[in-house]
């Protein structure tokens, strides 16, 4: 199995690149943000809870997020591999993912971390808000909060994979094709 953690701050291009990677490698795309948004749209209990955090730019609690992610993985027993997009976002989530995959005799193959300067992220998110309709992309204060949460809570997850020699830093500026080629090169290096 090829199991990829696609990592990076909000606006780094994780969703865009995931779409291409799943096609090339025949993987299942699991974006925790997308799953939360689908639950919000569907008016589920999970959606109501998630919205209260997402609207403030905060992380949804680990326990809820981990349970949801595990349930989504379990729905795809025949998957050739997964792209985890926006997960794990805390060290506790990274630990839980390793343990969970371990129970299935699987593991994370690589963490690909998209590296994009903060100014560029803010520009991209405000631009995306015009088409995504996402309230958390449209408000500069919420964007700042999400970037701050990334720096304080999510950034340390890099180290978690660095220690396992699974970390690959990808320069996230350039055309979509250029960045995709960098990701593919990093994946080819592990196979």
Active centre residues (catalytic): 14, 89, 128, 134, 146
Q: Which is nearer to ligand AMP, 27 or 157 (CB)?
A: 157
Question: Scanning residues 23 to 52, which ones bind ligand AMP (CB under 6 A)?
Answer: 32-33, 36
Q: Does 17 bind ligand AMP (CB under 6 A)?
A: no
Rounded CA-CA distance 88/90 in Å is 6
Rounded CA-CA distance 176/183 in Å is 11
Q: Does 116 bind ligand AMP (CB under 6 A)?
A: no
- Reading the block at residue 66, the tokens are 């981990």
Q: Which of 12, 22, 60, 73 binds ligand AMP (CB under 6 A)?
A: 60
Q: Does 13 bind ligand AMP (CB under 6 A)?
A: no
Question: Scanning residues 61 to 100, which ones bind ligand AMP (CB under 6 A)?
Answer: 65, 86-87, 89, 93
- Reading the block at residue 100, the tokens are 């969970």
Q: Does 2 bind ligand AMP (CB under 6 A)?
A: no
Place of tokens 């990829």: 4
Nearest distance, CB of residue 145 and ligand AMP, angstroms: 9
DSSP for 145-187, please give it: HHHHHIIIIITTHHHHHHTTT-EEEEE--S-HHHHHHHHHHHH
Rounded CA-CA distance 127/165 in Å is 35
DSSP structure class, residue 78: T
Rounded CA-CA distance 137/119 in Å is 14
Nearest distance, CB of residue 42 and ligand AMP, angstroms: 15
How many chain residues interact with ligand AMP (CB under 6 A)?
A: 16
Whole-angstrom CA distances from 129 to 54, 75, 134 are: 15, 31, 6
Q: Which of 101, 146, 157, 179 binds ligand AMP (CB under 6 A)?
A: 146
Q: Does 124 bind ligand AMP (CB under 6 A)?
A: no
Sites of contact with ligand AMP (CB under 6 A): 10, 32-33, 36, 53-54, 57-60, 65, 86-87, 89, 93, 146
């Amino acid at each position: 199995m090829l199991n990829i953690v696609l990592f990076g701050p909000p606006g780094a291009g994780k969703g865009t690149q995931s779409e291409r990677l799943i096609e090339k490698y025949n993987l299942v795309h699991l974006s925790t943000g997308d799953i939360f948004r689908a639950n919000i749209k569907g008016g589920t209990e999970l959606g109501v809870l998630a919205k209260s955090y997402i609207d403030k730019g905060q992380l949804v609690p680990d326990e809820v997020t981990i349970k949801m992610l595990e349930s989504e993985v379990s729905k795809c027993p025949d998957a050739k591999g997964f792209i985890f997009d926006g997960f794990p976002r805390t060290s506790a989530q990274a630990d839980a993912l390793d343990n969970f995959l371990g129970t299935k005799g699987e593991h994370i193959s690589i963490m690909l971390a998209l590296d994009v300067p903060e100014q560029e992220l803010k520009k991209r998110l405000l631009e995306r808000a015009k088409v995504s309709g996402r309230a958390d992309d449209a408000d500069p204060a919420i964007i700042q909060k999400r970037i701050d949460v990334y720096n304080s809570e999510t950034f340390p997850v890099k180290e978690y994979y660095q220690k396992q020699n699974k970390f690959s830093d990808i320069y996230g500026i350039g055309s979509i094709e250029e960045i995709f080629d960098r990701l593919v090169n990093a994946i080819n290096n592990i196979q």
